[in-house]
Amino acid sequence: MKSTAILLLSTLLLLLLTVGCGYGSNYHAMPGAVPKINQLNPQNVIANSGAFNLTIEGSGFTSGSIVYWNTTAIRATVISSTQLSVGITAAMIANAGSVSIFVHSAGANSNIMMFNID
């Protein structure tokens, strides 16, 4: 009887931990292709040239796509599953340098492309 009670309590504790941590049978990764960036438009800008819209062409983009400008997350406007647009502020291009850009979509990250600020 004692071993049955311990087994039952252990099973209950394991169940509570997995459900409480979000790792139960209700967890499903979002379906979809891994996003991929093929091209940025424009490919570079001049520092302090003002705000602009960056168009990202590739594949696997969804309505929940987020573009990362280095570590800054930007909600993307989805034009299609192969094209996104994001607004880049003047402050984001105030200084010359390179910025890494990738897309997070459908639970996965794309390849990284570099964007130059001249």
- Of the candidates 109, 103, 112, the one whose C-alpha atom is nearest the C-alpha of residue 85 is 103
Domains detected in the chain: 1-30 (no CATH), 36-117 (2.60.40.10)
Specify whether the CB–CB gap between 74 and 103 falls below 8 A: no
Tens of pLDDT, residues 16-62: 333 444 433 333 344 567 999 999 999 999 999 999 999 999 999 99
25: which residues sit within 8 A by CB, 6+ positions away?
A: none
Q: How far is CA 47 from CA 26, 87, 92, 97, 113, in A?
A: 47, 16, 9, 9, 18
Sign of the CA dihedral running 35, 59, 56, 85: negative
Q: Which two tokens mark 9?
A: 């309590």
pTM for this structure? 0.72
Give the pLDDT of residue 1.
54
Q: Is the pLDDT of residue 83 over 60?
A: yes
